[in-house]
Each structure stands twice: as C-alpha cells, then as structure tokens.
Structure 1
Amino acid sequence: MAIHLIRDLDALHRNVLTMCARVEELIDSAVDALHRRDYEKAEEIPAQDDEIDRMDVQIEEECLKLLALHQPVAVDLRRITTVMKISGELERVADLGVNISERALSIIRCGEVHVPDDFREMSHLALSMLHRSIDSYVDMDVKLARDVCQTDDRVDNLNREIIHDLILRMQRQPQLIELHMHLFSVCRQIERVADHATNIAEDVVYLVEGEIIRHRNRLETGPA
C-alpha cells in the first residue's frame, strides 16, 4: 500500500471516530434531556447537529478524494465505502437526536406526563446498541457487530409494547392526547436510532468479512 494512502486512511479513520464521539454525545444529551425534563439541555441540541453536518460533508469529500486519487481495491476500497456509509448513518442519528430534543421541549412545556417504564429501558438499549456498533468498528469486532444486529429485535418488541400502552392511555385520557403523541413520536425516533446502529454493525461485518448481511432474514424467508 502506498504511503500516501496509508496516511490518508489514518486521517479518515481519526475523523470518523471524532464524528462518532460527537454523535454519541448528542443523542445521549437528547435522551437525558427528555428523562430529566431539562429544557436548557434540550435547547442546545440543534447547534451540536450543525457541527455534525459539517463533519459528514467533510468525510464524504475525503472519501471521494481517496477514491479518485488512489483507486483503491479490496479491503481498502471496502474501508472507504464503509466509512462513507457509517458517516451517513451517524448524521441521521444526529437528526433523530434533534427530533427527540424538540419533542422533549414540547413535553416539558405541556406539563407533567408519566413516561412508561419500558421507555427508559428502550432508550438505554438503543443507545447501548449505538455505542457497541461504534466499538465494533473501532475494534473491527465482527462478533460484537452481529450481537448488535440481534439486539434490534428486543428494541422492536419494546417499541410495539410502548406504542400499545400509549394508545390505551390516549383512549382513557383524551385530554392528554397531544402529550402522548409527543411520547409516541419520541418512541419511534429511538427505535430508528437502533435501526441505524444495526446498519452500522452490518457495515462492519461487510468491512471485515466482505459479506453483505443486510436484509438477509427477509430475503431468506421470502415474501409472506
């Protein structure tokens, strides 16, 4: 491998790790602001997202430059394309964090509302998936990446249970429909965080093993 490509790949790796850290920080803050009903913290989230958007653009430009200048093959090509995909997933997670913070602000303004117990568990699980998917990239750990993919089913189950509970609450307390709709939206956003964590983990499997596992279960079982 040319020395210039090694240098550029190392710089790219450092940049994506910085972006990973910023996104984890943002989504943690957004969820924490919701649970703690911290209005000021929730208001700070959009400004953090602007920085992540700039990182996403910078990383994409670096990847395209590497592809054009070095014409990499095999594992180097997989690494660059994987970084582009991971950067995109992280940028979308940051957008979800902004959405969660906006809903948190609405919930805090509306007044007191009981957050379902499963909600905190689902939040913790989704954030853990994101953290572990990033760890799997840093360590090139395929086993950890596959574990993240398997955890997604637990988040999906919790999502269905919470939504069912919220629907029952809205039926019993129609005067609180707006508040519960905000919680309904946050629940969906957190479920999508888990989906993006799964996508990152799948990208890690591709990077290390050259195997595309995305949609495998659906393709293997075929149409219903």
Structure 2
Amino acid sequence: MLSELVRIIEGNIRMRSKFDEQLLELNHKMIEMGNNIISSIQKAIEALVARDIDQAKLIMDGDAEIDHLQKVIESICFNLLIQQQPVARDLRTVTAAMKMVTDMERIGDHAADISEMTILMGQNSQIDKFNHISEMASETMIMLNHSIEAYVEKDVVKAREVIEYDDIVDELFVKAKKDVIQLILNNPEEGEEAADILMIAKYFERIGDHATNIAEWVIYSLKQKENEDEV
C-alpha cells in the first residue's frame, strides 16, 4: 500500500516537473515573439520615414515567422491545459498567454500593414510632414516595449502605466485626423495619399490598443500573486 502511494507521488512529481519545463518554454517563446513584434514595428517605422520600399517588403515577408510563433505558443498552451489540472496561478498564466499571443500577432499584422502602405505611397510620400503621426509612432513603441517588459519582469506597475499611456496615443490620433482633413481641404488632389496616411495613423492607434490589452492580461496573470502577497 505504501509502495503504491510512493509510486503515485513520484509520478505526480514527474508530471509537475514536465509541466514546469513547458511553462518555461512558453515563457521563452512569448519573449521571442515579443522581441519579434517590437523589431517589426521599429523597422516598419524606419522604412516609413525613409520611404524604404525594399525594407518594407522584407517586413511583410517576415510576418510569416510571427504567425508561426503564434501557432507554436498556442500548441504549448493547449498541451499544458490537457496534461493535468493546473493550479490557479498556472491557469492564469496559460490563459493570459493565449490571449496575449493574439494581440501580439495582430501587432505583427499591423507592422506588415504599415509596410504595405509605405510601398503603396512610394518614395514621393509626404508622411514626414505629419508630426502627430511621427509622435504616434514614438509613443506606441514606448507602450509596446513597456507592455512586453511588464510581462518579462512580471511588473504590475509598469503594466498599469501602459494602460494609462493609451490616452496619449488616442489624443494624437485625433490630432492626426485633423491634420489629414486640413491636407484634403488645402490640396484636394492629394486626397488619396491623405487617406493612406490616415490609415497609417489608425494602425498606430490599434497597436496602442493591443499593447494595452497585453498589459491588462499581464495584470490578470499576476492577480493571484498580488492576492497572496497581501495575505
């Protein structure tokens, strides 16, 4: 009877050890994907400002790697959920990762979207005349960097700062829309490019929204730890 109990305990320990290994792999893949989307957005901004068509094409091609990482992470999450009943903290971690990876993939899509607009507008683009869009690019990069850092560092305070920061990007988007409207009024013949520029502003605004979502899921995943610390 005792030997059977020992066998069960040892089996549970082995299962937990494997579970912890997969949790560590999940964390590594999430960090890898986070670094990839940060790099993609940064390069998309550089291509946009420099009107670098070749660079923009490379960014669009690179979106497939981000999509692949999403599938890998989702597979790890499903395996973790079906192997054994996760404790509350583990369940929060896996659930948050599954939600976060969707927002991360969409950020990668927006890097490709911005690059596509860069190609469509060509080297004669007047994007550099729109200061509020360049500000949006800078501010969304801050949000994105901090949301990923909040996940890596398990930093609730930094995650909450990202959420508060979203108001800045939203205000800049309103100003960017006014800039575009003014361009159309002053130069109706440039209406098509104005529409393209407005789309770019909208992509940056959406990136800010996705960074906010990531930060909210970071807070969710750490909620159990917060409660334990308060006890």
Q: What is the TM-score with the length of structure 2 in the denominator?
A: 0.88
Larger helix share, 1 or 2 = 2
1:138 aligns with 2:148: no
Of the three residues 161, 164, 169, the one matched with 1:155 is 169
Which residue of the partner structure matches residue 206 of structure 1?
220
Q: Which amino acid aligns with 2:210?
A: H
Query: Given residue 48 of structure 1, which amino acid in structure 2 is its aligned partner?
Result: G
Distance 1:57 1:3 in 2: 24
CA distance in 2, matches of 1:76, 1:13: 12
TM-score by length of 1: 0.91
Q: Which 4+ stretches in 1 moved above 3 angstroms? A: none
Equivalent residues, number: 210
Q: Percent identity?
A: 33
Residue deviations 1:122-143, cap 9 Å, x none? 1000011000000000011000
RMSD, matched Cα: 1.3
**2:204 is the alignment partner of 1:190:** yes
Aligned counterpart for 2:33 among listed residues 8, 15, 19: 19
The correspondence for 2:57, drawn from 43, 54, 77, is 43
- In the TM superposition, residue 171 of structure 1 has moved relative to its aligned partner by 1.4
Larger Rg: 2
Give SS of 1:53's match. helix
Following superposition of structure 1 onto structure 2, how do residues 71-90 of structure 1 map, counting pairs within 5 Å?
71-90=85-104
Q: 1:10 maps to what in 2?
A: 24
**What amino acid is the match of 1:99?**
D
- How many Å separate the matches in 2 of 1:83 and 1:175? 46
Q: Residues of 1 paired with 2:87 and 2:164: CA distance?
A: 30
SS at match of 2:129: coil
Match in the other structure for 2:81: 67
- Which of the numbers 87, 105, 112 marks the counterpart of 1:98? 112
| Higher mean C-alpha deviation, range 185-194 or range 37-46 | 37-46
Gaps (5+ residues) in structure 2?
Answer: 1-12, 226-231
- Alpha-carbon distance in structure 1 between the residues aligned to 2:151 and 2:170: 23
Match of 1:217 in 2: none
Provide closer, same or farther for how the CA distance between residues 112 and 68 of structure 1 changes in structure 2, counting only shifts above 3 A.
Answer: closer
**What do residues 134-187 of structure 1 show as CA deviations (whole Å, max 9, x unaligned)?**
000001100000000000001000000110110111111011111111110000
Structure 1 unaligned blocks of 5 or more: 212-224
Asked if 1 retains the 8 angstrom alpha-carbon contact of 2:133 and 2:176, the reply is: yes
